[in-house]
C-alpha cells in the first residue's frame, strides 16, 4: 500500500515539474482530443493574447483557456441560470425574450473580438469569485471593447466597486445608446 502511494506521489510530482518547466505555454497535457490548461506557474502576455471565443456578450475565452469577464457591463443571459430567473422577475420580461436578446449581444461581441488579438487592462481586482479574469479589453486597433459593446447598445451597466475606473464613460455611452435606440434598445 505504501509503495503504491509513494509511486503515485512521484508520478504526480513529475507531472507538476513538467508543467512548471513548460509553463510559458500553460499546457499541462495535450492530445489530439484537446488540451488541459494549467495556469499555475504560467505567465501570459496579456498585452497581446488571442480571443478564442465569446462565451456570451460579456465573457470571453482566451487562447490559454482563461475566461475574462468584461468589467463594468452586463449583457442579457442566454443560458438557463439563477441570474436569468432574477432578471426575468426584475424586468417582467419573458425568459425567452431575455435569451433572444442575450444571443444578439453575444453575436455582436463575437463579431467584434472572436479570433482577434487583444490586450487586457486590469482594475483594482484581477479575478471575480468564479475565478474569471476581470478586465477592460482593447483590440489592437485601439477599440475599447467594453465601451464599444455599451456604445452600440448591447449592454447595460454593472458596477462593482472597487472596479470603477470607467464608470462615467460607460454611463454616458449607455445613455446615448438608449436615446438613439441602438442595438437592443430598438
> What pTM was computed for the model?
0.78
77 is catalytic: yes
C-beta atoms surrounding 108 within 10 Å: 21
Q: Which of 67, 77, 125, 179 is catalytic?
A: 77
What is the topology classification, in CATH, of domain 44-185?
OB fold (Dihydrolipoamide Acetyltransferase, E2P) (2.40.50)
Q: How confident is the model over 144-168, as pLDDT tens digits? A: 999 999 999 999 999 999 999 999 9
pLDDT digits (tens, 9 = 90+) for 34-89: 444 455 545 789 999 999 999 999 999 999 999 999 999 999 999 999 999 999 99
Delimit the domains of the chain by residue range: 1-43, 44-185
Are 110 and 89 contacting, i.e. CB atoms less than 8 angstroms apart? no
Active-site option among 61, 63, 69, 179: 69
Amino acid at each position: 500500500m505504501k509503495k503504491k502511494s509513494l509511486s503515485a506521489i512521484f508520478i504526480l510530482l513529475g507531472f507538476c515539474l513538467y508543467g512548471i518547466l513548460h509553463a510559458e505555454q500553460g499546457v499541462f497535457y495535450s492530445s489530439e482530443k484537446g488540451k488541459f490548461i494549467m495556469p499555475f506557474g504560467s505567465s501570459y502576455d496579456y498585452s497581446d493574447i488571442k480571443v478564442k471565443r465569446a462565451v456570451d456578450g460579456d465573457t470571453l475565452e482566451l487562447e490559454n483557456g482563461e475566461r475574462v469577464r468584461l468589467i463594468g457591463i452586463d449583457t442579457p443571459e442566454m443560458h438557463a441560470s439563477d441570474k436569468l430567473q432574477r432578471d426575468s422577475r426584475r424586468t417582467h420580461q419573458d425568459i425567452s425574450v431575455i435569451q433572444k436578446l442575450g444571443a444578439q449581444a453575444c453575436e455582436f461581441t463575437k463579431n467584434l473580438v472572436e479570433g482577434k488579438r487583444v490586450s487586457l487592462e486590469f482594475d483594482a481586482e484581477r479575478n471575480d469569485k468564479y475565478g474569471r479574469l476581470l478586465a477592460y479589453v482593447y483590440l489592437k486597433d485601439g477599440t475599447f471593447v467594453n465601451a464599444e459593446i455599451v456604445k452600440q447598445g448591447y449592454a447595460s451597466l454593472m458596477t462593482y466597486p472597487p472596479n470603477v475606473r470607467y464608470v462615467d464613460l460607460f454611463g454616458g455611452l449607455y445613455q446615448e445608446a438608449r436615446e438613439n435606440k441602438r442595438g437592443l434598445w430598438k
